[in-house]
Structure 1
Amino acid sequence: MTKKILIALALGILSGYLAAPDSVYENTGLLMDIGLCLLLFFVGLDLGSNKDIFKNLKNLGFRILIVPAGTILGSLAGGIVCSLIFDINIFGALAIASGMSWYTLSAIIITPISSELGTIAFLSNVFREVLAFVAIPFIAKNIGYLETIAAGAAISMDTGLPMVTRNTNSEVAVISFISGVILSLAVTVLVPIFVGLMA
């Protein structure tokens, strides 16, 4: 699967550079939305066909929150380490880390305070998303299923969900969706808090 993703990305870059007409660029957002909706529809179809998933999740209860909580703590710890290595304002680094793959929102919130940190937020969260797509199959095979959710963070409820579903199982896919929702909500709270502390 990783090879297919890398080949598709390379073909897209090559096509965009060499041959794609302007009409393709005008409709890229729409085409991506349609593709994402189709992916999520088939993921939902697969989840709905497994009747035991929701029963098993009910048994987990509040333990489901461990995955997003661990993802948040790991992301923030990474931000602290990066602030020390690269001599970045600690609250700026925490704001960047709090983006958790939601590159558009985090960059928009951070840029008015610092265009440099806003750019870093955009790029680091884009890289996190791209690396998650490549790493999820490896993580699922060699480390563990739940860890695939942490790799993608906020994207584990949308663009990352098909990758998690394909490489794990239906129960983990549902946990992935729930975690993605919680992490996306956390981004909207944590990034503004740390940006406020930067000022």
Structure 2
Amino acid sequence: MILFALGSLLLGILCGYFLFPPEAVPVMDRLMSYALMLLLLSVGIEVGTNKTVFRKIREYNVRILVIPFGVAVGSIAGGLLLGFFLGMPVNESAAVSSGFGFYSVSAVILRGLGGAQLGTVAFMTNVLRELMAFLMIPFVARHFGRYAAVAPSGATAMDTTLPVIARATDDETALIAVISGVVLTALVPVLVPLLYNLL
């Protein structure tokens, strides 16, 4: 999936450079907005059809939110710290890091808010987060515990990195990872523009 996403980006760059005139950009912006709405609808349907998630949320109550909110705070704090060292504006570094690995949504939102360069930074940052999660999860599970293994994935804990979490931990942690991923996925379209505009 990640290779497909990177290949699509490369193909888009080549098409933009060789085929499409600058006048095509407004049409692409409109298409991206529709695609983003469709993507968010499909994520909502996927969450709504997973009845186990809702049952576990009722069972664990508010405690189930500790992990995703901890991941959110840690991700944004880490993004702010790295942004400071890289000389990035606070609002941009916070917004990029609040993508939580959900590159398809965060990149589109930040492209609309801050331009193509910021959208590309968001895309690459969140793709790299997902790639690093695949490598880090077994190590984190072994040395820091099964709940800590959910953190590197961010929003992708509910889908692409879930098999790695399940293999490195146990069934209960895998279910918590799904819930954490659902919560973080829902936060991305809210936090990215909020942090970009507030800070």
TM-score normalized by the length of structure 1: 0.69
Extract structure 1 runs of 4+ deviating beyond 6 A. none
Alignment deviations for residues 44-88 of structure 1 (CA, whole Å, 9 cap, x no partner): 9xx9xxxxxx78x82x43211100010000011011102210111
Match of 1:118 in 2: 119
Q: Where does residue 140 of structure 2 map in the other structure?
A: 139
Cα distance, 1:148 vs. partner?
1.3
- % identity of equivalent residues: 39
Count, aligned residues? 148
Question: In the aligned structure 2, how far is the partner of 1:66 from the partner of 1:92?
Answer: 25
Question: Is 1:75 aligned to residue 75 of structure 2?
Answer: yes
**RCO greater where, 1 or 2, for CA within 8 Å and sep 6 or more?**
1
The residue identity in structure 1 corresponding to 2:68 is: P
| 1:98-177 correspondence to structure 2 within 5 Å | 98-112=98-112, 113-177=114-178
Give the 3-state SS of the residue equivalent to 1:145 in structure 2.
coil
**Using the alignment, how far apart are the partners of 1:179 and 1:114 within structure 2?**
30
Query: What amino acid is aligned across from residue 111 of structure 1 in structure 2?
Result: R
Q: Distance in 2 between matches of 1:95 and 1:65?
A: 21
User: AA paired with 1:182?
Assistant: V
- Indicate whether 1:193 and 2:167 are aligned: no
Q: Distance in 2 between the 1:82 and 1:119 partners?
A: 17
Letter in 1 for 2:177: S
Measured against aligned partners, the alpha-carbon deviations of 1:117-169 in whole angstroms (never above 9, x if no partner) come to: 21111111000000000111111111111111110010000111111111100
Alignment of 1:14-29 (within 5 A): none
The reply on whether 1:91 has 2:98 as its aligned counterpart is no
- Provide structure 1 residue ranges, at least 5 long, that are not aligned to the other structure: 1-8, 14-43, 48-53
1:108 corresponds to which letter in structure 2? V
Q: Distance in 2 between matches of 1:178 and 1:147?
A: 14
Amino acid at match of 1:163: V
How far, CA to CA, are the matches of 2:164 and 2:105 in structure 1?
A: 23
| Whole-Å separation in 2 of the counterparts to 1:84 and 1:68 | 24
Distance (whole Å) between structure 1 residues aligned to residue 142 and residue 129 of structure 2: 19
Q: Which residue of 1 aligns with 2:31?
A: none
Q: CA deviation at 1:192?
A: 1.5
